[in-house]
Amino acid sequence: MEQKDYERIAKLETQLESLTEGLKRIENKLDAYTANFITKAEADIRFKNIEKELMEVKDDKRTNRAFWVSVSALAVTFIFSLLNYLK
């Protein structure tokens, strides 16, 4: 082999080493980046819990509405019976 070939091989080796180091840094950064996210299984569990809580809140609102409708109907009935009694 000639001297040019050895120089060319040495240049390619240094470029390959620098590419390898760059890839290692990128992999380390990606690992650190993905460590901040939750897994799919954890996300599914959390979303199911949130969905249950939302359903409970909706049910509570419905029961509150029904309660206030019943209270208002009772109050109206009481007022009318009081008016009938006073006549």
Provide DSSP, 28-74. Answer: HHHHHHHTTSPPHHHHHHHHHHHHHHHHHHHHHHHHHHHHHHHHHHH
Query: 46 with 38: CB under 8 angstroms?
Result: yes
CA distance 87 to 80: 11
State pLDDT tens for residues 44-65.
898 999 999 999 888 888 888 8
Q: Is the pTM value of this prediction over 0.75?
A: no
Low-confidence ranges of the chain (pLDDT < 50): none
